[in-house]
Structure 1
Amino acid sequence: MSVTIYHNPNCGTSRNTLAMIRNAGIEPEIIEYLKTPPNRETLKDLIARAGLTVRAALREKGTPYAELGLDDASLTDEQLLDAMLAHPILINRPFVATPLGARLCRPSEIVLDILPAAQKGSFTKEDGEQVIDSEGRRTRS
């Protein structure tokens, strides 16, 4: 059961996503993408499998997005990918890839749609929001 998370341990959404993967009894491959960024082909594949545009996979907050002029609508996907590869903080997070697909897990519970195993018990996010009840069912859809 191959599950990979492109993770930033300083991000609460990423930590919650990782915890839900583990709550399903899965120990994923964890790639700290700020230390080990994906290559161009992997990044393009993740974005495509997640059904996103390259622009939708860009992170603006806390990044050099504005300074680099990435809000310029005339920039091509290849130019945006160049920026993401040069500045991995621009890659939105967390991306998760499983045999059932890939998603940008914002909010974190999106990961539940692609996990190949059910949740093993209750799960509450770091902010106190319960996502999974004691019987392993989503508390909201």
Structure 2
Amino acid sequence: MQFTVYHNPKCGTSRNVLAAIREAGHEPQVVEYLKTPPSRDTLESLIAQAGEGARGLLRAKEPLAKELGLDDAGVTDAQIVDAMMAHPILINRPIVVTPNAVKLCRPSETVAELL
């Protein structure tokens, strides 16, 4: 099975998910999204396939999210996506993509559902 991982090597959860995929015998395509952010179309597709709206893939713990007011209830998905495009650090990680699913794997144990 093909896996793509939107990964931040500084993130322990992201490293754990990547290790679990490799331990299961898969070599995923790794996208260091802070160096190579997804296009808007790709990001919107990931959001749609994950099925949780843009807020579901927002890294709400990132201080910038609060600074930008993204925690306000009235903020739209389009506004969140705009912020993610301008500041990729706002994209939560790791996002794992398989032919059958897209999932934010937090906590890291949730990757087992995809293996």
TM-score range relative to shorter protein: over 0.9
> Please, which runs of 5 or more residues in structure 2 have no aligned partner?
none
Q: Is the 8 A contact 1:63 1:89 kept in 2?
A: no
Question: Bigger shift: 44-53 or 91-100?
Answer: 44-53
Equivalent residue, structure 1, for 2:70:
70
Q: Is the 8 A contact 2:8 2:33 kept in 1?
A: yes
Measured against aligned partners, the alpha-carbon deviations of 1:13-66 in whole angstroms (never above 9, x if no partner) come to 000000000011111000000111111111111122122111121112234111
- RMSD between superposed Cα atoms in Å: 1.2
Distance 2:80 2:110 in 1: 25
Equivalent residue, structure 2, for 1:50:
50
1:1-141 equivalence runs, <5 A:
1-115=1-115
Q: Is the 8 A contact 1:95 1:102 kept in 2?
A: yes
Residue 54 of structure 1 aligns with an amino acid whose one-letter code is A
Distance 2:55 2:102 in 1: 17
Residue 21 of structure 1 aligns with an amino acid whose one-letter code is I
> Please, which runs of 5 or more residues in structure 1 have no aligned partner?
116-141
How far apart are residue 91 of structure 1 and its match?
Answer: 0.5
Runs of 4+ in structure 1 over 6 Å off: none
Structure number having the greater helix percentage: 2
Distance 1:50 1:65 in 2: 20
How far apart are residue 108 of structure 1 and its match?
Answer: 0.9
Measured against aligned partners, the alpha-carbon deviations of 1:63-93 in whole angstroms (never above 9, x if no partner) come to 4111111122222111110001110110011
Residue 88 of structure 1 aligns with an amino acid whose one-letter code is P
Residue 86 of structure 1 aligns with an amino acid whose one-letter code is A
Residue 38 of structure 1 aligns with an amino acid whose one-letter code is P
Normalising by structure 1, we get a TM-score of: 0.77
Normalising by structure 2, we get a TM-score of: 0.93
Residue 46 of structure 2 aligns with an amino acid whose one-letter code is L
Tell which has more relative contact order, 1 or 2 (C-alpha 8 A, sep 6+). 2
